[in-house]
Amino acid sequence: MAMTNLQRDTLTKTLEVLTKDLDVSPAIIHLISKGILNENDRDNIIAKVTERDKVVEFVTTIKKRGTKAYPIFIEYLKNCRGSEHLAEELDKKLRELETEGTKQIKRWERFETKFHSFKCTHETISSYQDIPEKINILLIGKTGSGKSATGNTIIGSSCFKAACSSQSVTGTIASEVIEEKGINITVIDTPGLFDTAKCNENVTIQNEDLMLEIAKTMISFNTGIHLFLLVCSSTVRFTKEEQETIGAIEKILGKEFYSNCVVILTNARAQFGGYEMESLQDYVNREIETGGKFAELLAQVKENIIAVENCFDDDFLREKQREKFLCCLAQVIEANKGCVYSNELFEAAHKRVEQQEIERKKRLRKEMK
Ligand SMILES: Nc1nc2c(ncn2[C@@H]2O[C@H](COP(=O)(O)OP(=O)(O)O)[C@@H](O)[C@H]2O)c(=O)[nH]1
Ligand SMILES: [Mg+2]
């Protein structure tokens, strides 16, 4: 079994003191006698020119030698005259990292219970057996809702440009592909749709042009869309503008899109993250009880809703959230039994947009007469 992350991190964090005080030759002999290192390893270590580089090579090598390597090395340090303090340093650092790790896990668990309203049957996406090997995810929503940032959370790096202002950064449709534990995930980011729900003629044309472009792009993907992520900011009230945005999306894509739709509430930390704040589940329950427009949307998407924090400044939280987020998405895809928003549906959407365009021109001609 591989050395644990905790053991490896301890060695990394104590490398400085090891390079100063470790006498590497007797340590190599001891670890060879215990079957941790071999002659080849010794030659590689000794071949390094400086003492410092020898220690670095030694530590790098034992990190790859399984869980037993660590306790055997510590035991050696404890029993080797003049190296006892190194054993103490490593013990101290390991305990420090352990406490830190426990704290981080607790912190994540608190966010996890707050951000998620449905249970996942597995803890990693690769455990979902009944999902396709290729998954297409399309991000839609208003500019500034956090589509690009959500795309980055899914991909796990800053591939999509997220804005610092409310201006739309994604000028055209952008897509990124990652391979996640044997599953190919394509994330498609779109420019701000329906930025203003005033629905004046220009905005309508912009939206329709964009939907045409999306439909065309989708038709070029031969597997259709598994998930539409309808991105809304959790800190922005679900106003008439939000409703109209969704209404306009529905008008173009058809009601069928709800079957593959998950509502994503961004900026989750500000809305649900605090100790005293309500959880996403409480929020959903409250909305359903009140029975407004948001409750209608929740019913349409079968209460598939996830809160996400795209701006965690902590790698651990980012990774944990990403893992969980991917599981939630896999869970929805599995529950959908692989059903996709197909190319045929996109073609129908495409035709609807074209038809709307013809009617708009007719209307304009009439008005000009
Ligand atoms: N604090 C916080 N800021 C976010 C979150 N998601 C997006 N943002 C910020 O909101 C702004 C708009 O995000 P962006 O992804 O560009 O929105 P888009 O126009 O829908 O693509 C950017 O400044 C993001 O950094 C989030 O979950 N938390
Ligand atoms: Mg964007």
What is the per-residue pLDDT across 79-103, written as a single tens digit (0 to 9) for each?
Answer: 999 999 999 999 999 999 999 989 9
| Predicted local distance difference test score (pLDDT) of residue 218 | 67
pLDDT of residue 339: 84
pLDDT score recorded for residue 137: 94
For residue 96, being part of any structural domain is answered with yes
Smallest CA separation from ligand 1 atom 7, residue: 146
On whether residue 115 sits in a domain, the answer given is no
Same domain? 294 vs 205: yes
Helix axes 84-115, 69-79, angle to 10 degrees: 150
Tokens of 295: 């409750």
The reply to whether 227 and 303 lie within a common domain is yes
Higher pLDDT, 170 or 311: 311
Q: 159 lies in a domain?
A: yes
Is residue 117 domain-resident?
no
When pLDDT is averaged across residues 160-176 and rounded to a whole number, the result is 66
Tell me the CA–centroid distance for residue 145 and ligand 1, in Å: 6
Residues in the chain: 369
Local confidence band at 205 (pLDDT 50, 70, 90 cut-offs): low
What does DSSP say about strands 183-189 and 305-307: parallel, antiparallel, or unpaired?
unpaired
| Same domain? 330 vs 231 | yes
Average pLDDT over residues 17-32: 97
The per-residue pLDDT for range 245-264, each reduced to its tens digit, is 788 788 778 888 899 999 99
Residue 261 β-bridge partners: 228
> How many CB atoms are located within 10 Å of the residue 4 CB?
13
Question: Of the residues 56, 78, 109, which one is the last residue of a structural domain?
Answer: 109
In tens, the pLDDT along 133-142 reads 999 999 988 8
In terms of Cβ atoms closer than 10 Å to its own Cβ (0-12, 13-18, 19+), residue 59 is buried
- What are the residues whose beta carbon lies below 5 Å from ligand 2 (ion)? 147-148, 169-170
Half-sphere exposure of 237 (CA within 13 A, CB side): 3
For range 175-181, the mean pLDDT: 91
274/238 same-domain check: yes
Distances (CA, A) of 296 to 162, 283, 288: 30, 14, 8
pLDDT at 46 over 90: yes
Instruction: Kindly report, residue by residue over 267-309, the tens digit of the pLDDT.
Output: 999 999 998 899 999 999 999 999 988 999 999 999 999 999 9
Could you identify the atom of ligand 1 that is nearest to the CA of residue 189? 21
Residues 141 and 69 in one domain: no
Q: Does residue 212 share a domain with residue 295?
A: yes
Q: What is the helix (H) or strand (E) element at residue 208, kind and residue range? A: helix 201-220
Ligand 1 pocket test: pick from 115, 139, 148, 170 the residue with the most ligand atoms within 8 Å of its Cβ: 148
Residue 369 lies in a domain: no
* Domain identity same for 302 and 325: yes
Instruction: For residues 134 and 94, state if they share a domain.
Output: no
Pairing verdict, β 183-189 and 174-180 = antiparallel
Domain count of the fold of the chain: 2
Does the pLDDT value for residue 1 go beyond 80? no
Tell me the average pLDDT of the chain. 87
My answer on whether 102 and 174 are in the same domain is: no
Q: Kindly tell me if the per-residue pLDDT of 48 is higher than 90.
A: yes
Q: Is the CB of 266 under 6 A from ligand 1?
A: yes
